[in-house]
Amino acid sequence: MFLLGLTGNIACGKSTVAQMLVERGAARLDADLLVRELYADPKFARRVAALFPQHCARLLTPEGEVNRRALGEIVFCDGAALEKLEALTHPAVIVLQEEKLRELAARKPAPSLVVVEAVKLIESGQDARFDAIWCVICEPQMQLGRLMQTRGLSEDEARRRLEHQPDLESKRRRIEESTAARSSTPFIIIANDFGRDELERTIEKQWKALSFKKQT
């Protein structure tokens, strides 16, 4: 299977791009959905709550799952808290992701291309795993508006979330550093500032460029 990493910061349009790839025949794994699966596991939820004992009572729902809204209010106001959470969740997501990839590879037939979507796909050290990486970007003001419109966040809440997003140049540098001793992983920037029709044309062009590399 050809593995395509799809990254980019919050509200840039990764999910839209991923859906366009699914419509062209790709299988999809979304790291956000994997995190939700972990947060729905009471055992893992207790590990998350234990990271923040002073907030433990409000971090768990009556069903024993993580209260994601309450967790977001904590970690997106505190960089150290976010780092602590990511140190727990990133390895667990990668393990779950590998399980899902093995399940996809065992299908008859297996998908020729799998797109793995994650904000911190590069920062979590997964970049070497992929045959190519696409990074979706857009203007910060567009991100802000999308966060407020689609997630119901206030402007202050949306700005706090954007403050904790990794910058594009750090992603690019990480790719360059990690590929220095091996064949380079293609790193493609997908601009999502010009409307859906233009994005569709960009994805079609990049999809065709990938098609000859698809593996079985």
**What is the pLDDT averaged over residues 32-57?**
96
| pLDDT, tens only, 61-116 | 999 999 999 999 999 889 899 999 999 999 999 999 999 999 999 999 999 999 99
Alpha carbons 84 and 65: distance in angstroms, whole number: 19
Task: Report percent pLDDT > 70 for the chain.
Answer: 90
Fold of 1-26+111-216: Rossmann fold (3.40.50)
Q: Which of these, 171, 191, 167, 169, lies nearest to 179 by C-alpha position?
A: 171
Domain boundaries, the chain: 1-26+111-216, 32-109
Number of H helices, E strands in the chain: 10, 5
pLDDT in tens, 107-143: 999 999 999 999 888 888 888 889 999 999 988 888 8
- For the segment 167-180, the average pLDDT, to the nearest whole number, is 64
